[in-house]
Structure 1
């Protein structure tokens, strides 16, 4: 039987439950010591273009490229940002230059505390799986499909505790995209850092191991995950990291991408939104289903905290402009994304959740799923329980928690019928949703995992449940089946980055090899493909440049 171990929960102290991202994130935007600029070339740059542009810039340095685009990312000190932008903008080879904007994690942050199993009268410890019909006392989605280890969900997030007892067997690969994307042998996070730990919680909702007599059940059941870290050492999640991560996942055949992150439209400029949309369109074109959290700024303007919060809009200099109330989030508002609002245990829209507002923001939110809602220790069980670093388990809430339920469902559908297209999977999820739940607040209603899977199999949902499959114990346990086979993360290459000829040095000879193969689909460090994406491109040049004579 599945059991929750001691659970960490969130307690809001004197603060109201407002939308999420990075609790100190608004301050971080003002105080970071360096910033990134994205420079887009007018045409696909030649090797000489790259060499010339990078050689003459005094206020910034090239650090990496955006895969599959004409864009490169430059870094400048915060004090030199304006000068660096002007210097790059004056270059005749460049079409546009804009700031690499930050995205946010879409959960509700708070302090941590410990608790034992819930008191009598509390809800099932995984009520969310019952509400969405993954589990149940009658027939449920997991009776129709239990997923497959061959179906991958990419969790693009803050990273993960890769040694967690309920996750370690469910990861096909670990990838760091805070520079050029590359595999890493392991990941670790600080359990006391809510932002770092976010990805571990999300991953558990997608695909925690099952029937291992510990922890929680994941919505995707036997589904495996590709974990992609896009939070850097300064706690920032940049658009460039996001863009590379989405393309990386799509190029490697993941079926579903989960994005429990985003930014208010008011904190983004036109080029940034275009870059986000471009990455999403690329993945969609590769057959991937993209699921994104709709955002946690659904509360009215009056909920604004005087000291600043994650629903505030700032100008390019970090000055407060206004407080956002139910405004669009990206990538949730990007075309072809399944955007997910949050529900509480009673199938009501969570008070923090974004929602459709036809006269204002339009109908951009697709469906709703359990996201939880609570404010104190006494009602923590009304949040979403999932994995937390250090073999712990944690209650959290937010549209960040709602989205991975939908990602898990998409994985179950792909596992049931692998020949389905992403368009078909998206349609099954949306058209099977229960419209009567929060009518008008989303386009389709609340997800119904059982109805979606029975629609896929051509079976009409029965009004009379079959014999019980998942019977909760008095403590609210959920019985769940056997975990899938273990996959070992692929370690990074042992070659020195940028060393094409293998002589232990990164020098002009390696540049010559890179230049010889530039813009060709050739793999291997010996050919100049230093990031291993199968093409010798600008990202590889950036790797060579940043390791030159080191």
Structure 2
């Protein structure tokens, strides 16, 4: 009866064989490796063996037994085996396998690595409090677009801007206009200012300067801003007449994206104003602009809807309506959602983005932004989910992936994360993902 060779003797046999092979072949392999480049990282003691196509299992087993290697895994569909050899003898084992007539090739089990994008971390001292940037993976997006020289133009139609805020440089604010009653006859309170503070917050969350060792970091640091004031100077409402002028002005001055963080209830609109507003929006969209607007902070109360532009223009291929989430991607309680109220008025919300949750002024829960006092404050609202999304649209333009408004909207929607907790609020529970939006490999690196 044929005796079986104990495992320890097979390993000794392998050691002898490999020692002989190493004496003859390995020095040449090592010399070649050292003369060109260092060996790549590999799994110690493992070798990949590619047998010739159609090699029988018995032949493979015989080769392994002859060389004394231990089979770890066999993939017969492609005739590849993974074997264990003594650590330190991997190169000699590769050479021994290659010399066998049943083997097509053999090699080290080289280690790969995940191509995850490292985050860009600016030196702004309060960056660590901007949880919302981490949730949308903005730091990874900044890395991907860091080599771009494209400077997209975003118009903010809002309450104005505090002149000289330390985190909003003159190089970012390329144009400012006041479309309220100040325009024809400037008086007290007119000019580059923001008594309400809302416009400074919205502009700052998009474009706050990076790496100036001050304050916070904006979503799109390379974006150039057109800031247009439409506040009625009472500090509570926007002026529809001013909005009409601002929309047309922004389109004429080259805005590629317009952010609106407001809504006008239908109940307050006259037919004439409604017609004029729609003409202004048609003018904007015909010039290839992406219009981004907040969904509203009505606690999803149908009695507060419809509004312009959300109800009128939601669903248009160049219009994004954005709902708000708090930390951990939960629907903010105040945020409007997607529904079709009785009476046929629709509320379309395309996706969610951070807007703050507790509304307590705590940066750990709300959105930290520049304030009209020259400092910083934290607050909440869909008003801030919208410019965060507009800023990401600016990053997509900088990436070169999109050059049209319809592409921008589709890109932002198609690369959004699908969050089950948000599925009841808007389609597919979409949540903004800046990294995936700018990744030319469709999110593989994110």
TM-score calculated relative to the size of structure 1: 0.53
Aligned mates of 1:274, 1:203 — CA distance in 2: 28
Partner of 2:351: 367
C-alpha offsets along residues 239-262 of structure 1, whole Å, 9 cap, x if unaligned?
Answer: 110011000000111111010111
Aligned mates of 1:130, 1:328 — CA distance in 2: 33
Partner of 2:368: 385
Specify the SS of the correspondent of 1:411.
helix
Aligned mates of 1:198, 1:331 — CA distance in 2: 19
Contact 1:158/1:230, CA 8 A, preserved across alignment: yes
* Counterpart mapping for 1:478-489 below 5 A: none
Aligned mates of 2:279, 2:417 — CA distance in 1: 31
Asked if 1:155 is matched to 2:160, the reply is: no
Partner of 1:206: 206
Mind listing any 5+ residue stretches in structure 1 that lack a counterpart? Answer: 6-123, 191-195, 301-323, 466-550
How far off its partner does 1:189 sit? 3.3
Partner of 1:453: 438
Partner of 2:90: none
Q: 1:126 aligns with which of 130, 139, 147?
A: 130
Identify the range of structure 1 (428-437 vs 355-364) with the bigger mean alpha-carbon deviation: 355-364
Distance 1:204 1:279, change over 3 A: same
Aligned mates of 1:440, 1:430 — CA distance in 2: 16
Aligned mates of 2:387, 2:130 — CA distance in 1: 14
How far off its partner does 1:212 sit? 0.4
Contact 2:437/2:443, CA 8 A, preserved across alignment: no
Partner of 2:330: 348
Aligned mates of 1:230, 1:217 — CA distance in 2: 26
* Counterpart mapping for 1:387-402 below 5 A: 387-402=370-385
Specify the SS of the correspondent of 2:299.
coil
Partner of 1:9: none
Aligned mates of 2:275, 2:352 — CA distance in 1: 26
Aligned mates of 2:401, 2:228 — CA distance in 1: 23
The structure with the largest alpha-carbon Rg is: 2
Q: Which has the higher relative contact order, 1 or 2, with Cα contacts under 8 A spaced 6 or more apart?
A: 1
How far off its partner does 1:393 sit? 0.2
Asked if 1:233 is matched to 2:221, the reply is: no
Distance 1:180 1:389, change over 3 A: closer
Distance 1:264 1:152, change over 3 A: same
How far off its partner does 1:354 sit? 0.3
How far off its partner does 1:225 sit? 0.3
Q: 2:426 aligns with which of 434, 442, 448?
A: 442
How far off its partner does 1:271 sit? 3.6
Specify the SS of the correspondent of 1:204.
helix
Contact 1:260/1:403, CA 8 A, preserved across alignment: yes
Q: 2:174 aligns with which of 172, 175, 185?
A: 172
Aligned mates of 1:199, 1:375 — CA distance in 2: 18
Specify the SS of the correspondent of 2:305.
coil
Distance 1:171 1:418, change over 3 A: farther
Distance 1:129 1:331, change over 3 A: same
Distance 1:380 1:422, change over 3 A: closer
Distance 1:178 1:376, change over 3 A: closer
Aligned mates of 1:418, 1:452 — CA distance in 2: 9
C-alpha offsets along residues 175-211 of structure 1, whole Å, 9 cap, x if unaligned?
Answer: 11115969x9961234xxxxx1110011111111111
Specify the SS of the correspondent of 2:417.
coil
Mind listing any 5+ residue stretches in structure 2 that lack a counterpart? Answer: 1-122
How far off its partner does 1:326 sit? 5.8
* Counterpart mapping for 1:149-298 below 5 A: 150-169=151-170, 170-179=172-181, 187-190=192-195, 196-235=196-235, 236-298=237-299
Distance 1:209 1:275, change over 3 A: same
Distance 1:424 1:408, change over 3 A: same
C-alpha offsets along residues 46-86 of structure 1, whole Å, 9 cap, x if unaligned?
Answer: xxxxxxxxxxxxxxxxxxxxxxxxxxxxxxxxxxxxxxxxx
Distance 1:180 1:388, change over 3 A: closer
Contact 2:305/2:347, CA 8 A, preserved across alignment: no
C-alpha offsets along residues 518-539 of structure 1, whole Å, 9 cap, x if unaligned?
Answer: xxxxxxxxxxxxxxxxxxxxxx
Q: CA RMSD in A?
A: 2.6
Distance 1:172 1:376, change over 3 A: closer
Specify the SS of the correspondent of 2:228.
strand
Contact 1:294/1:329, CA 8 A, preserved across alignment: no
Specify the SS of the correspondent of 2:218.
coil
Contact 2:310/2:347, CA 8 A, preserved across alignment: no
Partner of 1:334: 312
Distance 1:380 1:408, change over 3 A: closer
Aligned mates of 1:231, 1:411 — CA distance in 2: 25
